[in-house]
Amino acid sequence: MPDPLVLDGKIWVESEVGSGSSFIFDLDLKEVESSLADKSSEEKPLSVDYSKSLDGSTILLAEDNQINQEIILGLLEKSGIKVDVANNGQEAVAMFRENSYDLILMDIQMPIIDGYEATKIVRETDRDIPIIALTANAMKKDVEKTKKAGMNEHLNKPVDVKKLYEALFQYIFQKSSINTKLGLSHLGGNEKLYVKILCELYDNYKDLKLENLDDKSLKIELHTIKGLSGNIGATYLQEIAKELETTLDRELFSDFYKELNRVLDEVKKKLSSSRSRENGSNRQVLDDKKRDEFLGKLKEFALKRRQKQCNMILDEIGEYTLNKSDEELFSKINGLIQNRKYKEIMEQF
Ligand code: MN
């Protein structure tokens, strides 16, 4: 495993058949020196802690170079992510077929079947699984080629640890900025209250300016935002607000605003759809047949540990009016899915 000190820099290996290997090091030496001077600081390579939310995910790493494999494994070591390694495209396709992954990290240049080809094969049966290309020469045409093959995103080698975590977070966990189910469960399922809080959040924060606040007011403001975003299920915003509240590191402002704007956009959409629903007010009652159909799908995806698909079904169920016992059942299943307790979900059927 690589020394944790390299986590703030970049390290990579490129090899071409018949021409040996070149090693790329791009280490921030200042970072290394200060870490050496102050051992306690080396635990914090990331500005925001994504790892909690990624804990328990499973990803497939397709990479033919053993050193690169070890680097990625090292970077993800503390995250709790389970990483399976395929040594070439063919292995990757075989492992994808046999297992269920939340995401695939796909090297482009690999023997037998390359990353483009492997992606095309995966996409024949699964259009949803996020595939992130690992590209050595990220020329515009290469990036276009990854998109054309069906990859969602690309990361340049040498892989930047922050970008890696951001991409994993975005594609595995954060299908949207707001986890409505989680928010509602914090409020005991009270939809009216939820909508009221969304309204308040929107009105209070659409013109937020943190720059001019002194440290004390900034802390108070962030404390409130942290609580509010937690309540509505805006987990990532809550995470950034928490980090800002503790560190008062103003360099995090841009991350904060970026996420705040995503949340506000989503709040706006939610509010307008909840209004149109109220006006129409003829939500369908979930009948037994439809309920069993939903349960069947949930079971199928829970077995495959597909959180994203489970959430999509839960969203669909949310469009119906449920009777008391169904409401309890689905809210329990929802809690288990958000905590990735898939085995316990099976006991619900
Ligand atoms: Mn390769």
Q: Is the pLDDT of residue 45 over 50?
A: no
Ligand 1 centroid, distance to 227 Cα (angstroms):
45
CB contact at 8 A, 42 and 4:
yes
Answer with the residue of higher pLDDT: 270 or 3.
270
Which residue, 148, 154, 166, 168, is CA-closest to 60? 168
Beta bridge partners of 156: 135
* Residue 26 CA, ligand 1 centroid: distance in Å: 19
Which range of 85-89, 136-140, 230-234, 286-290 scores highest in mean pLDDT? It is 85-89
C-alpha span between 270 and 331 (Å, rounded):
19
User: Is the pLDDT assigned to residue 296 strictly greater than 70?
Assistant: yes
For 208, the token pair is 């937020």
- Give the tens place of pLDDT for each residue, 18-32: 444 444 444 443 333
pLDDT of residue 110: 96
Q: Does the structure show a pLDDT above 80 at 251?
A: yes
**Span 100-128, mean pLDDT?**
93
Given this model, what pLDDT does residue 36 score?
34
Question: How many angstroms is it from 65 CA to the middle of ligand 1?
Answer: 6
How far is Cα 71 from Cα 134, in angstroms, rounded to an integer?
13
According to DSSP, the β-strands at 58-62 and 82-86 are: parallel
Query: Closest by alpha carbon to 199, among 279, 259, 275, 255?
Result: 275
Q: Two tokens at 49?
A: 């802690």
What is the average pLDDT across 103-119? Answer: 96
C-alpha 249/C-alpha 275 separation (Å) is 38
Answer whether residue 279 shows pLDDT above 70.
no
pLDDT for the residue 89:
97
DSSP strand E in the chain: where?
10-15, 21-26, 58-62, 82-86, 103-107, 131-135, 153-156
- Ligand 1 midpoint to CA 36 (Å): 33
0.75 exceeded by the pTM? no
Q: State in Å: Cα 59 to ligand 1 middle.
A: 18
**DSSP secondary structure string for all residues of 200-221:** HHHHHHTT---TT--HHHHHHH
Ion ligand 1 nearby residues (CB, 5 A):
64, 107, 109
